[in-house]
Structure 1
């Protein structure tokens, strides 16, 4: 079968590999991936990996490079193990990609995303969403409504990341919010903040193409350029008594962006670190104390959030498909996928890969 595999830094190949052949375990499914998103984690692997892809057998999953990529994907169930009852062959699903123990400290508490030995489909599991077939666990398969498209179903995983950040930021009806950085998670956070009823949403973005995209997604959002020395005054002018926003969602993973979020929130505001930093960041802890801030750091999402996201998409309040800018073939993954997304002045935001037809 055809698959996109990561071998090493800037070495991603579309190759013919052996399809799954061993009998399914009782709690496993064989699925046919349909559409798969390129995630920022995939880009980090491409530019500087291996980072989380395993150079030696993974302690829990046993996976090792080369790795079939793809952890944001929709699929059709092909076959199931004998203990799988919530889906049947022919059903469409979205994939919750974390593989983790059900019985360790975190698993017993339902905090599967926090297990220290977790693996991830498409990063540290033998299979991934950018292959024509994949084997997953029963708990990875989340059924989706018929009215949700294959593309929308593939966007549930990144949308869950964004909604988790908003939840941790206490964003509710009437909140004022800053979204720092309009990459895919920032864009989905923007849509999620609007769906939550936020009354005033600011977006900080330097790329003019992405700034334009923010206005397309939520026309009444206020876009600011963080390079403008008056950026904070612009926020003050539009918040009550000039105190700043209730919450700031940091989606860049950069020190300057985090510092700006701390500056932008009011006293007793909430800063949520959603972007993943690739290097340590220096902070002004005294400012955090003087402002009596809550700083939340997020990792992934709770696994129970996927049906909630699906229902929001189905109802129309979370139009995740608007974040997609291109859909490409597997054969074009490097030139039209990774390289396009790495262009800092480019107009791509979210690129999805068409793996199979539903």
Structure 2
């Protein structure tokens, strides 16, 4: 079968590899349909290996070369005898965490993303979404509602990141919310905040093209270019009493963006760090203390969130497909997908791979 595999930084190859093995009792084989290119995939391509194991993964044994892709969905083609919740022919969305079951403090409590043994399909597992087929654990796949299109099934994963970030921020009806970063996760976070009841939305990004796209998706969104105006000043001027927003979510992994969140949030507000910083990020700790701010991390999502996120997309409350700006084939994904997303001009947000093209 055809697959895109990571070999080293700047070395991705579309190759012919073996089809998945027959599934074990607790496994399934799916025919992949659509797969999203994530920022994590871009980082592996540009600077990796980062999450792709250099040595065999302690739980899965996986290591490079690695089939990429952890945002995907498809159709079940083979089912292990112990898997009862899906059948051959079911359309599914993939929750990509693969962890030991039993004996781990966090996985025993359903927090698979927090386990030190956590692996991820498309990064540290034998299979990934950027291939024609994938071998997965049964618990990785969720049958999708009829209202959910195949493209939507590949968008559940990034949308889950956004929904969980809003959960961590306690976003509620009537809130004012700032998101720094108008990339795919930032825009999905804005949509998730709106679905949670936020009525006043701000987004900050130095890329004017992305700000225009964001405005086209959410008409009443206040867009801010931090190169031209102070994020905090704009937010305070527009919020009740001039105090700042209730919740600020940093979706870039950028020091200036985090500093802007701390500045823009009101006293006793909440700042959620969603984007991954490459290193230490200094902030004004006097403001954190003086303003009585809650500063929280948001790492991925709990696996149990999948049905809820699918319902939010299927109902139209989170129109996730609006962040998709391009669909490419596997053969053209390196130049038309990865390189296009790394272009500093930033003309695209989310690019999907159509495995049937």
Residue deviations 1:241-277, cap 9 Å, x none? 1100000010010111000000000011000000011
Where structure 1 has 5 or more consecutive residues not aligned to the other structure, the ranges are none
Q: Give yes or no for contact 2:208–2:225 (8 Å, CA) kept in 1.
A: no
Are the equivalent residues in 2 in contact too, given 1:102–1:112 (CA < 8 A)?
no
2:231–2:264 Cα contact (<8 Å) kept: no
Q: Which residue of 2 aligns with 1:6?
A: 6
Describe the SS at the equivalent of 1:7: strand
Map 1:72-83 to 2 at 5 A.
Answer: 72-83=71-82
Per-residue deviation, 1:88: 0.2
Give the Cα–Cα distance (whole angstroms) in 2 for the partners of residues 236 and 298 of structure 1: 25
TM-score (norm 1): 0.98
Measured in 2, the distance between the counterparts of 1:136 and 1:230 equals 47
> Corresponding residue for 1:38?
37
Tell me the distance in 2 between the aligned counterparts of 1:11 and 1:235.
Answer: 43
1:193 — aligned with what? 193
* Counterpart contact for 1:33–1:76, Cα < 8 Å: yes
Q: CA deviation at 1:346?
A: 2.5
Mapped pair 1:177 → 2:177: yes
Task: Give, in whole Å, the separation in 2 of the partners of 1:316 and 1:189.
Answer: 15
Listed one character per residue, the Cα deviations across residues 24-80 of structure 1 (whole Å, up to 9, x for unaligned) are 211000111100000000001001000010121111100010000110001100011
CA contact (8 A) 1:207 1:344 kept: no
**SS of aligned partner of 2:331:** helix
Pairwise mapping of residues 144-163 of structure 1 onto structure 2 (< 5 A)? 144-163=144-163
**Structure 2 equivalent of residue 52 of structure 1:** 51
Q: How far apart in 1 are the matches of 2:146 and 2:162?
A: 23
The number of residues matched between the two structures is: 356
Task: Check 1:230–1:253 CA distance in 2 against 1; reply closer, same or farther (3 A cut).
Answer: closer
RMSD of Structure 2 on Structure 1 (CA) = 1.0
- Structure 1 Cα separation of the partners of residues 34 and 281 of structure 2: 35
CA contact (8 A) 1:3 1:131 kept: yes
Note the alpha carbon deviations across 1:160-219, whole angstroms, 9 max, x for none.
000100111111110000010011100101111111221110010111111001111110
- Structure 2 residue aligned with 1:87: 86
Report the Cα offset of residue 228 of structure 1.
Answer: 2.4
Question: 1:283 deviation in Å?
Answer: 2.2
Measure the CA separation in 1 of the matches of 2:150 and 2:53: 29
Q: Partner of 2:46: helix, strand, or coil? A: helix
Post-superposition offset of 1:231: 3.4
SS state at 1:313 partner: helix
Aligned to 1:286: 286
Q: TM-score, normalised by structure 2?
A: 0.98
CA contact (8 A) 2:233 2:264 kept: no
- Shift >3 Å, 4+ stretches: none
Shift in Å, 1:101: 1.4
* Residue number in structure 2 paired with 1:208: 208
Q: How does 1:117-266 map to 2 (within 5 A)?
A: 117-266=117-266
